Structure 1
Amino acid sequence: MSIFKNLPAAPVAEKKPVTDTRHGISRTDDYAWFRADNWQAMFKDPTLLDPAIRSHLEAENTYMEAALSDTKPLQEKLFEEMKGRIKQDDSSVPMKDGPYAYGTLFVTGGEQPHYFRTPRDGGEKQVLLDGDKEAEGKDYFRLAGIDNSSDHTHGIWGYDDKGSEYFTLRVRNLATSEDLDDVIENTGGGGAWAPDGKSFFYTLQDENHRPSKVFHHIIGQPQSTDRLVYEEKDPGFFMGVGGSLLEDWIFIDIHDHETSEYRLLSTADLTAEPVIVAKREEGVEYSMTEGGDVFYILTNDGDAKDFKIMEAPVTAPGKENWKEVVPHEPGRLILSHLAHARHLLWLERRDGLPRIVIRDRATGEEHAIAFAEEAYSLGLQGAAEYDTDTIRFSYSSMTTPSQLFDYNMVTRERVLLKTQEVPSGHTIDDYVTRRVMATSHDGALVPVSLLYHKDTKLDGSAPCLLYGYGAYGISIPASFSTNNLSLADRGFVYAIAHIRGGKDKGFEWYETGKMEHKQNTFKDFIAAADHLVKEGFTSYDKIIAEGGSAGGMLMGAVANMAPEKFAGIIAAVPFVDVLTTMLDDTLPLTPPEWPEWGNPIDSEEEYSWIAAYSPYDNVGAKAYPPLLAISGLTDPRVTYWEPTKWVAKLREYSTGDAPILLKTNMAAGHGGKSGRFQRLEEIAFEYSFAIKVAGKM
């Protein structure tokens, strides 16, 4: 490509063929050696990485730097623009909880959040946890927040300083901001307090990075004496622990991507064994919230594909006692629910747009909170207290900065607490947001959310960054991002393809984008690109595709299926070696992921589904566009060797001259660098690649 000139020779990975045979089918992997045998230990101590692997990753970083060296001034300019749109000394609106109100703030120049509290009705801030201070001297540092006890004397806080998502828990005296001697390592990152504030519950990660055990820790006692409350023997299930607003119950939530089970522990007897609510049934999901003398249960049980809400007495919450409260309505997907003393509320999505519905528990009267823009995002925060009529929610669109409201569920009064401040200035009317529909291969209509400057000519000449994800039922909101303004201001159309695999159009939208239907996800994304070209928003030689994690798998698939339709591709922490990973049941996420992708170990049919699209397995002799892959050395979700192998194979097979680039964060994991400005630097780097490829430098 003419835009990449005078590049040095790209790294050439050594081939060490390894053959694997399953169901009578043999595959040879020339680059399997990039998977370090000691990966579990290396995630906790990156210095243990095999020197040969480290040398190759560093060579890839050097090549990438050379290919993008001319974008350095642009990266700096983009970073300053993005930084200029952030209120550096920003502070959240504190949430009331008992005698205090709790919130977070950032200081000018600071990378990490500071957690604070004030007296309930306002007053001087008391900083409980200074994230910048805790992060001093560390290449990577990520806080898991701080959770105060009900008596407001102590807080549990957690941190990960490797990027491997093994969190260390500490207990802090909130009066003095000093930590106690309690230190618990290798946890999931949070805990649930017992009502007396003298003990808490937490999940422990096993050697394969799975939260397989729940423990009860008494403050001041050594970790070795913690009581094992529950152990999940099935490696195919995730597990979390939390508490109810009334602090009557500890919830143990056990689930994979399609099946749920809850176990309850009454806080009246912390030594008791947890009790099952409803035994796990394949394909049946449920989640719970407490409503005083009843539990409200959100479930897809029966034919409730888009979910319904049931209730059951707290004294007998078994499935045989569930009674319908909010019936199932096809096309109305209920996403989450909350209960307060006098109201039941839930977040739902209709026609791809979210709204909040509130029901008076005494009268059954309902009303909804919704907005009129073509595409927008709505977040339900609820309240930290049970006995309240006031909840909190957030709203934004691709042109409207985030707004935070307190809402009185009785009077229906809406109080604007805060509007996201853009210090460098933002005029809403300078930008346009739209939602268009692309027709996919089978006639399905795929929503595409758009943002562009009002002066952008829609004659096919505009470059476009087309983003997609499409997995796990996750819907990408059409929310406000100050970073995307840097693209819009340069004439880009920023587009989000709400493809199958997410739940943007209901649960069926998810079901028809997983397992044997996974190819719909990729075809939807290509259809979105086709529609944008057909309607004059852009042209094929100006579309840069972007996706991360499972969205990175999407990038790998469309690169194989339609490389000629993309000017460039950005694949962040891309899950591209799907078949090999799903065949390796020692990896952290493999058994829990089988309901999403298929189990190729046990099923030849499911093996064939994955083999048909797995990006690494389908690399072929074709002209791939310029491609930037980004990975994290200690990433437990998409291990560093997946993008490393993929880039090596792409470079081997590509018949074109476009560069295939790999950037490995040597001190970060799945989410990249942890500081807020460090993250902006990474986005500026990615966007500089897109702008260079689009010829807009």
Structure 2
Amino acid sequence: MTTSEAKDTASMPPAAPAAHSETAPAAPPVAKKVPVERTHHGDTFLDNYEWLREKENPEVVAHLNAEQAYTDAVTAGQEQLRTDIFNEIKNRTQETDLSVPSRKDGWWYYSRMVEGQAYGIQCRVRAESNGTLDDWTPPLVEAGVPVPGEEILLDGNAEAEGQPFFSIGGAAVTRDGNLYAYAVDNAGDELFTIRIKDLRTGELLPDTIENAFYGLTFSPDGSTLFYMLADDSWRPHQVKTHTLGTPVSDDKVLYQEDDVAMWTGFEISADRRHLVVSIGCSEFSETRLLDFAAPDKGLQVLIPRSAEILYDAEPFLLDGSEKVLLTHDRDAVNSMISLVDAAEFSKPLDRQEWATVVAHDDAVRVNGATVTATHMVVSLRKDTIERIQVTALEGLGTAEQAAAVEPVFEEELYTAGMGGSEYESPVIRLVYTSDFTPPRVYDYVLPAAGGQGQLLLRKETPVLGGYRPEDYVATREWAVAPDGTKVPLSVLRRADLPRDGANAGVVYGYGSYEMSMDPGFGVPRLSLLDRGVVFVIAHVRGGGEMGRHWYEDGKKLNKKNTFTDFVAATDWLAESGWVDPSRIAALGGSAGGLLMGAVANLAPEKYAAIVAQVPFVDALTTILDPELPLSALEWEEWGNPITDPEVYRYMKDYTPYENVRAVAYPKIAAVTSFNDTRVLYVEPAKWVQELREKSTGSEPIVLKIEMDGGHGGASGRYEGWKTRAWDYAFLADAIGATKLR
């Protein structure tokens, strides 16, 4: 086992400075043992704590409440630090603020926040049209200043009143602007109630849909609402249609996906002529189109999943001809873009003619493409950085195709992504950010032939409290993994921090599902940096920062690379001259929480503390049971241990719960929510019990549980700030970084 490589901690220096603030709490709660044997492929695992899965059992609830009481006692001395960090976040945030309005048909839509209120207020004002660029210049809205003609679509604060939890899971408006559909979750379980509001009268229609999943949109004529349902394992599998004014019981299933390993979703095409239903996993997919002009034809398959191509499709008209823009991995591991005449899809795949629009490049990961009436807009990743390119539609896919144009930004490490666009608009909305540049909203005027386009800054998110970007530094560094692979790191620190080997450090990682930890500004993180913490984001394999190979080298039977990459990042920090090696902590959530559990077993002596947020630490138990939420969908990420003995053995060798061992673990906080449907609370609850039983050290191991939260914790911005302050205070206290510099 790889855990055997971890060093003996007996002769190591203390894990953190002596000045800790925890009190002397009572003994931690001890769950009773109810042995359950789990046997697969000739291997039997004895699980003493599986009974904690019984969510309705009062004994389980009592145990979880006892865990929280113990956590409160252990961390009582951190209360002032938590309060300080919360206030720092609050004082840097302009609490009364508005988003930049986005145009849709005859209206400008935006949201605003009000000081003292936890949730956003969705609003709109009428738009003018005179056929010029001015039509797409958003109205100037200022914080705290009434907007003439403003209509409130939805006040989240009023909706949340008296509810234990509140989250919006989607919203849609009819093209005539008369009806507004929205989905609300009041439990945190990501099941939503859909309501429809008549914006002319402010009244709710009687049409109410319960237990829907993410995703809703109206048909172009506004008579039909499309929405998603999930099955018992929280897998979105049904696209349903509701005809307004009819009983919900009469709603029809437009599409149902019965393969438990496939995810289903839908969206409206850019030109709003088709409903695009996407079915897929991380390795191949299938797209079905509903032509709103001919709905009786039903859904039409483009490329069947049997072709095992991973692709996205954008149907549109080009010079009056039906075309489909395909972003696909056919003979292109990093994906490429092809233009295909719609009639080609009726032919066998090997006889179809696809015109190359963006060729495959081993150094460039193509993420996706959409269209406006005049341009193709491509999202891609090069040199780890997400960026946008645009190409005129005229001549697309021919020898006369125009060269791509890319908006130019000044910083080396940044993120530039789509913030939405309207098909007929001469501009696209971009959102730009970096580690120390607050989000900026730009409108990019699409270039004429031979032009470069123009960036129009619409807003930079204000940061209060005397924030100055020049006070901080972000650099790209590289760790070296055990197999020689260079792992990119983003290293964040204050500019005035001395490189004296005495500072504290935090290493953060995720490394799954091809998700990239891109440069992005975060107000809460400043509270750590201002306490002298060097914050390292480890872009480990399993993420998407370095292309598709980077992802594939950190999944399934290569998953251990994710963990050893993170340890290599930790070693880089320990040897960098910036920090005291005994003052390093680790942080990660969800699949990054599995990473935290894995590195805790691999190298517990390297960390003074670990915070694992909603951690997927009992992954093997979960994935072995396809009836559990989202389990079957995980087979394409981790492998299928039910049918494959090699996958089972490989996972059993790294999954955190099965590999807890008799070593001195550092301080560990597992943070979870009772109603989380993605990573059930039982996983960290079991893990904490196992850690406490086997650890040979004396550091506290706690379970922080939000009894009214979901995968993202409690709802509302203030509760979110409190959660972040709790996590950061736990880490800062453990690594002796409690005082501002």
Give the structure-2-normalised TM-score.
Answer: 0.90
Counterpart of 1:590? Answer: 631
Counterpart of 2:270? Answer: 245
Out of 454, 462, 483, the position equivalent to 1:442 is: 483
Counterpart of 2:497? Answer: 456
Q: Measured at CA, do residues 83 and 145 of structure 1 come closer, stay the same or move farther in structure 2, by a change above 3 Å? A: farther
Q: Measured at CA, do residues 639 and 282 of structure 1 come closer, stay the same or move farther in structure 2, by a change above 3 Å? A: farther
Give 1:95-494 correspondences, 5 Å limit: 95-121=102-128, 122=139, 123-281=148-306, 283-292=308-317, 293-302=322-331, 304-317=332-345, 319=349, 320-362=352-394, 363-383=401-421, 385-410=422-447, 412-494=453-535
What is the CA deviation profile of residues 258-303 of structure 1, one whole-angstrom value per residue up to 9, with x for unaligned ones? 221111111123344211111114752111123323111111112x
Q: What amino acid is aligned across from residue 331 of structure 1 in structure 2?
A: A
Q: What amino acid is aligned across from residue 25 of structure 1 in structure 2?
A: D
The answer as to whether partners of 1:471 and 1:502 remain within 8 angstroms in 2 is yes
Question: How much has 1:549 moved relative to structure 2?
Answer: 0.2
Counterpart of 2:44? Answer: 26
The answer as to whether partners of 1:192 and 1:250 remain within 8 angstroms in 2 is no
What is the CA deviation profile of residues 161-186 of structure 1, one whole-angstrom value per residue up to 9, with x for unaligned ones? 10000111111112233221111111
Q: What amino acid is aligned across from residue 284 of structure 1 in structure 2?
A: I
Out of 627, 639, 650, the position equivalent to 1:609 is: 650
Counterpart of 2:714? Answer: 673
Question: How much has 1:316 moved relative to structure 2?
Answer: 4.6
In 1: Cα distance, 2:445 partner to 2:638 partner = 43
In 2: Cα distance, 1:689 partner to 1:214 partner = 43
Q: What amino acid is aligned across from residue 442 of structure 2 in structure 1?
A: F
In 1: Cα distance, 2:711 partner to 2:420 partner = 29
The answer as to whether partners of 1:540 and 1:564 remain within 8 angstroms in 2 is no
2:95 is the counterpart of 1:66: no
Question: How much has 1:495 moved relative to structure 2?
Answer: 1.5
Q: Measured at CA, do residues 593 and 124 of structure 1 come closer, stay the same or move farther in structure 2, by a change above 3 Å? A: same
The answer as to whether partners of 1:115 and 1:146 remain within 8 angstroms in 2 is no
Q: What amino acid is aligned across from residue 670 of structure 1 in structure 2?
A: H
Match of 2:658, SS? coil
Counterpart of 1:45? Answer: none
Give 1:574-653 correspondences, 5 Å limit: 574-653=615-694
The answer as to whether partners of 2:387 and 2:415 remain within 8 angstroms in 1 is no
The answer as to whether partners of 1:261 and 1:279 remain within 8 angstroms in 2 is yes
Aligned residues: 684
The answer as to whether partners of 1:376 and 1:396 remain within 8 angstroms in 2 is yes
In 2: Cα distance, 1:514 partner to 1:206 partner = 26
Structure 1 stretch displaced more, 362-371 or 590-599: 362-371
Question: How much has 1:513 moved relative to structure 2?
Answer: 0.2
The answer as to whether partners of 2:503 and 2:578 remain within 8 angstroms in 1 is yes
The answer as to whether partners of 2:168 and 2:183 remain within 8 angstroms in 1 is yes
In 2: Cα distance, 1:543 partner to 1:222 partner = 59
Question: How much has 1:71 moved relative to structure 2?
Answer: 0.9
Unaligned runs of 5+ in 2: 1-14, 129-138, 140-147, 395-400
In 2: Cα distance, 1:330 partner to 1:253 partner = 26
The answer as to whether partners of 2:118 and 2:716 remain within 8 angstroms in 1 is yes
What is the CA deviation profile of residues 323-376 of structure 1, one whole-angstrom value per residue up to 9, with x for unaligned ones? 321111112001121111111111111111122111112142211124343322
What is the CA deviation profile of residues 564-602 of structure 1, one whole-angstrom value per residue up to 9, with x for unaligned ones? 111100000000011111100101211111010011111
2:553 is the counterpart of 1:525: no
Question: How much has 1:96 moved relative to structure 2?
Answer: 1.1
Question: How much has 1:53 moved relative to structure 2?
Answer: 0.3
What is the CA deviation profile of residues 595-642 of structure 1, one whole-angstrom value per residue up to 9, with x for unaligned ones? 100111111011011111000000000000000001111111100100
Q: Measured at CA, do residues 479 and 69 of structure 1 come closer, stay the same or move farther in structure 2, by a change above 3 Å? A: same
Q: What amino acid is aligned across from residue 527 of structure 1 in structure 2?
A: A
Counterpart of 1:42? Answer: none
In 2: Cα distance, 1:450 partner to 1:683 partner = 20
Match of 1:680, SS? helix
In 1: Cα distance, 2:725 partner to 2:683 partner = 24
The answer as to whether partners of 1:263 and 1:276 remain within 8 angstroms in 2 is yes
Question: How much has 1:145 moved relative to structure 2?
Answer: 3.7
Match of 1:610, SS? helix
What is the CA deviation profile of residues 12-62 of structure 1, one whole-angstrom value per residue up to 9, with x for unaligned ones? 1111100111111111101111112xx6xxxxxxxxx21010011011000
In 2: Cα distance, 1:251 partner to 1:414 partner = 31
Q: What amino acid is aligned across from residue 413 of structure 2 in structure 1?
A: A
Q: What amino acid is aligned across from residue 101 of structure 2 in structure 1?
A: P
The answer as to whether partners of 2:237 and 2:256 remain within 8 angstroms in 1 is yes
In 2: Cα distance, 1:538 partner to 1:439 partner = 18
The answer as to whether partners of 1:157 and 1:190 remain within 8 angstroms in 2 is no
Counterpart of 1:43? Answer: none
What is the CA deviation profile of residues 357-410 of structure 1, one whole-angstrom value per residue up to 9, with x for unaligned ones? 111121422111243433222221241x21222001111111111111101111
In 2: Cα distance, 1:322 partner to 1:587 partner = 41
Match of 2:267, SS? strand
In 1: Cα distance, 2:509 partner to 2:276 partner = 34
Out of 539, 542, 550, the position equivalent to 2:591 is: 550
Unaligned runs of 5+ in 1: 40-48
The answer as to whether partners of 1:354 and 1:370 remain within 8 angstroms in 2 is no
Match of 1:398, SS? coil
In 2: Cα distance, 1:82 partner to 1:5 partner = 26
The answer as to whether partners of 2:23 and 2:76 remain within 8 angstroms in 1 is no
In 2: Cα distance, 1:667 partner to 1:332 partner = 43
Match of 2:305, SS? coil
Q: Measured at CA, do residues 66 and 188 of structure 1 come closer, stay the same or move farther in structure 2, by a change above 3 Å? A: same
Q: What amino acid is aligned across from residue 327 of structure 2 in structure 1?
A: L
Structure 1 stretch displaced more, 404-413 or 500-509: 404-413
Give 1:1-20 correspondences, 5 Å limit: 3=20, 4-20=22-38
Structure 1 stretch displaced more, 16-25 or 267-276: 267-276
What is the CA deviation profile of residues 81-106 of structure 1, one whole-angstrom value per residue up to 9, with x for unaligned ones? 10111111111111111111111111
Structure 1 stretch displaced more, 171-180 or 587-596: 171-180
Report percent identity of matched pairs: 38
Q: What amino acid is aligned across from residue 294 of structure 1 in structure 2?
A: K
The answer as to whether partners of 2:23 and 2:75 remain within 8 angstroms in 1 is no
In 2: Cα distance, 1:585 partner to 1:354 partner = 35
Give 1:84-99 correspondences, 5 Å limit: 84-99=91-106
Q: Measured at CA, do residues 519 and 282 of structure 1 come closer, stay the same or move farther in structure 2, by a change above 3 Å? A: farther
Counterpart of 1:44? Answer: none
